[in-house]
Structure 1
Amino acid sequence: MKQISEKEALNRMAAYCSTTERCIQDIEKKLSSFDLLPETCQRIISRLVQESFINESRYATNFTHDKLQFNKWGRIKIEYEMKKKGIPASIRQKAIEEIDQNLYTEILCTILKNKKKTIKAKDKREEYYKLLRFAASRGFESHEINTCLKGLFKENEYDDME
């Protein structure tokens, strides 16, 4: 890509940030394709933060909401993905704490109920563990998974599996 001016890069990044929430790492990746000096990139990012085009806290809240609602991810996976994006721990923690517990449990139980219909297992124990692994791979905590699985399996069947 050809060299562009700082002002043009700033305008492009402002437009890029206007379409949806972005984190600093997203902007750094995009700016790296413009062949700009590192100091120039930092000035652009500082300006975008100053003018509220980039707000990591707002980004983390929206990211958490979207990944829970649309991707059906659990807290563990959401936090891990935010960590990969370079979101500070305090911001990640605050966003995770804002998750409505009732909604969280409802989403987990719904995906387990739907998955239970499609699982092929030779017995209830195997079915239980397949559901447990499935929910864990989505980033849900084991105590949350066990609570929902207790509801899906009759109590006496559950007691045999512990």
Structure 2
Amino acid sequence: MKNKKTYTLDEATKVLENYCAYQERCHKEVEQKLYDLNMIPEAKEYIILHLLQHNFLNEERYAKAFVRGKFSIKKWGRIKIINQLKFKGISAYNIKSGLTEIDSNEYLTVLQTIAEKKSPLIKESNSYKKSSKLAAFLISKGFESELVFKTVKSLI
């Protein structure tokens, strides 16, 4: 068994400050990092409190950054974003706050654009099968089914 490096409270605090400064983190990620550093429960509590007090850790800010990133870069829909945030242990309030980062008009435009790009790639002569495949793809991206069906109907 290899010896793991041990950290003093100050060293661990610095490691976690850098970890949080590099990119937004949620409590779950910070707790996992502290676990990986083999910190005792009292030290974990102290460090998390320190990170919160010095604004290194802010779940509302994390939720907003997560929503912006997943929507603008990965083109995820609201449902997939909400599920991922729930999985990360983000509160309903912070999820709702994060979702305000998505502009409704831009959301519909992105859905339309993805549908228009994907549609010609689906090699299916039967229009019913083609529209179901397109709808399934868009739903898997996390878009709401009623919006997906409207979009698919307008295209096919």
- Which bracket does the TM-score occupy, shorter chain normalised? over 0.9
1:119 is aligned to 2:122 = yes
Aligned partner of 2:97 in structure 1 is: 94
SS at match of 1:113: helix
Tell me how far 1:101 sits from its aligned partner.
Answer: 0.6
SS at match of 1:63: helix
CA contact (8 A) 2:68 2:101 kept: no
Amino acid at match of 1:99: I
1:71 corresponds to 2:90: no
Partners in 1 of 2:106 and 2:150 — Cα distance? 14
Give, in whole Å, the separation in 2 of the partners of 1:124 and 1:69. Answer: 30
Equivalent of residue 47 in structure 1, options 47, 50, 53: 50
Unmatched runs of 5 consecutive residues or more in structure 1: 154-162
Query: Using the alignment, how far apart are the partners of 1:81 and 1:50 within structure 2?
Result: 26
Work out the CA distance in 1 between the residues paired with 2:45 and 2:112.
44
1:58-84 per-residue CA deviation (whole Å, 9 max, x = no partner) reads 000010010011111110000000011
The residue number in structure 1 matching 2:136 is 133
2:138, 2:42 → 1: CA distance?
44
Distance, in Å, in 2 between the alignment partners of 1:89 and 1:35 is 30
Aligned residues: 153
Counterpart code for 2:50 = R
Select 2:21's aligned residue among 12, 18, 37: 18
Question: How far off its partner does 1:141 sit?
Answer: 0.2
Regions of 4+ moved over 3 Å? none
Amino acid at match of 1:142: S
Which structure 2 residue ranges, 5 or more long, are not aligned? none
Question: For 1:1-54, what per-residue CA distance to the aligned partner results, in whole angstroms no more than 9, with x for missing partners?
Answer: 221101100001101111111111111111111111012111101110110001
Aligned-partner Cα distance in 1 for 2:100–2:51 = 27
Aligned counterpart for 2:86 among listed residues 74, 83, 86: 83
CA shift at 1:147, angstroms?
2.3
- CA RMSD in angstroms comes to 1.0
Identical-pair percentage: 38
Q: Please name the residue that 2:34 is paired with.
A: 31
